[in-house]
């Protein structure tokens, strides 16, 4: 166990709340536009989903499976310490979400957007079966990435421990090295933003890349390793559900923005997997920039549930007096 540094407690609590709210708000702003082609629409604000959207008749501020599964992980980490017990809690939460509507936010209280890989993984967890397809190269959608935010608020001795934690939550559905490394980059970006939010984002990215061993620098993320992602034009950015595309798009949006609202709208207007790109972008932007628009915070559905899970995690860390890691 690593001892907590008392003076950092309040900062970490604030950063976690900002990151989680930023994630959920990005998700909510993006969900009405999911699967729409770039430049066939223009997102200017949060709105409800309409009859011709992918997820019709969703109220203003509703969020998707992205936020639900992230909350499942955050809740699991707030109640257990040992890795095996954390996994059991995560398994219980994921199943309860998929089939009982736990951690959902809208009027029907049932999930309405479960990815194929996630559904297959959860079904395997029900019967305690290994999901062999999780190891396939085709299992590199962003379903693993979108649930990793809470892991940035644990402490680790090295990247091997980070990857062990990542694999614990990825093994059911996205258990491939491409997905794991994308999650590692994302977790370390959040960690670095918390360490010094006064830094310019290019400096944050530089510090993260510098800290990652050459062993983990697979070619799929070359535009991140060589920082060329920062110089890409909008046309060179893809915003699909492929984990590499989602992470690159989120990084690009934060790097090219001056405030939280600008980053979220930029992410959504890329089109395609708008909710996940905007959610991942929102978690980083929530820490990077000081203010999240109050109108969006007030419009977020079941905000009390989101804040309750965050508070429970923070309280658990304080009561244990140590930071637990996996």
Domain locations in the chain as residue ranges: 2-323
* Confidence at residue 8, expressed as pLDDT on a 0 to 100 scale: 55
Give residue-wise pLDDT tens across range 267-322.
999 999 999 999 999 999 999 997 899 999 999 999 999 999 999 998 887 665 44
Element (H or E) spanning 105, and its range? none
Average pLDDT over every residue of 144-149: 95
* Confidence at residue 326, expressed as pLDDT on a 0 to 100 scale: 44
Going by C-alpha positions, the residue among 80, 104, 53, 54 that lies closest to residue 169 is 80
**228/94: higher pLDDT:** 228
CA 14 to chain centre: 17
Going by C-alpha positions, the residue among 47, 66, 65 that lies closest to residue 56 is 47
Report d(CA 181, CA 244) in Å as an integer: 9
pLDDT at 6 over 50: no
CATH of 2-323 among 3.40.640.10, 2.40.40.20, 1.10.4080.10, 3.30.70.580: 1.10.4080.10
Element (H or E) spanning 186, and its range? helix 177-195
Query: How high is the mean pLDDT of the chain?
Result: 88
Note whether 57 and 101 are within 8 A (CB). Answer: no
Read off the tokens for 56: 């019709």
Kindly write down the DSSP assignment for every residue of 241-301, as one continuous string: SBHHHHHHHHHHHHHT-SSHHHHHHHHHTT-SSHHHHHHHHHHHHHHHSS---HHHHHHST
Read off the tokens for 12: 């970490």
Report d(CA 131, CA 136) in Å as an integer: 10
Give residue-wise pLDDT tens across range 50-101.
877 777 678 899 999 999 999 999 999 998 777 888 889 999 999 888 888 8
* Confidence at residue 243, expressed as pLDDT on a 0 to 100 scale: 97
pLDDT at 260 over 80: yes
* Confidence at residue 109, expressed as pLDDT on a 0 to 100 scale: 65
């Amino acid at each position: 166990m690593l001892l907590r540094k008392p003076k950092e407690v309040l900062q970490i609590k604030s950063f976690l709340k900002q990151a989680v709210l930023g994630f959920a708000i990005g998700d909510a702003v993006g969900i009405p536009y999911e699967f729409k082609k770039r430049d066939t629409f223009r997102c200017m604000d949060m709105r409800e989903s309409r009859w011709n959207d992918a997820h019709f008749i969703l109220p203003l501020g509703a969020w998707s499976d992205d936020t639900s599964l992230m909350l499942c992980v955050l809740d699991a980490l707030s109640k257990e310490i040992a890795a095996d017990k954390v996994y059991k809690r995560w398994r219980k939460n994921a199943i309860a979400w998929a089939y009982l509507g736990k951690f959902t936010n809208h009027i029907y209280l049932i999930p309405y957007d479960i990815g194929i890989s996630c559904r297959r993984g959860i079904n395997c967890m029900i019967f305690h079966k290994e999901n062999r397809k999780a190891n396939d190269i085709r299992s590199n959608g962003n379903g693993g990435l979108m649930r990793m935010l809470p892991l940035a608020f644990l402490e680790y001795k090295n990247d091997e421990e980070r990857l062990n934690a990542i694999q614990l939550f990825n093994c059911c559905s996205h258990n491939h090295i491409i997905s794991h490394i994308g999650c590692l980059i994302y977790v370390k970006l959040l960690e670095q933003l918390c360490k010094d939010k006064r830094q310019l984002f290019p400096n944050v990215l530089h510090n993260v890349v510098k800290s990652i061993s050459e062993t983990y620098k697979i070619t799929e993320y070359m535009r991140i390793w060589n920082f060329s992602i920062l110089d890409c034009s909008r046309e060179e950015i893809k915003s699909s559900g492929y984990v590499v595309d989602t992470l690159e798009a989120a990084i690009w949006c934060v790097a090219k923005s001056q405030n939280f609202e600008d980053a979220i709208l930029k992410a959504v207007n890329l089109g395609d997997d708008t909710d996940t790109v905007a959610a991942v972008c929102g978690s980083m932007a929530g820490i990077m920039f000081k203010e999240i628009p109050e109108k969006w915070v007030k419009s977020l559905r079941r905000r009390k549930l989101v804040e309750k899970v965050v508070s429970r995690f923070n309280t658990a860390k304080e009561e244990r007096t140590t930071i637990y890691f996996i």
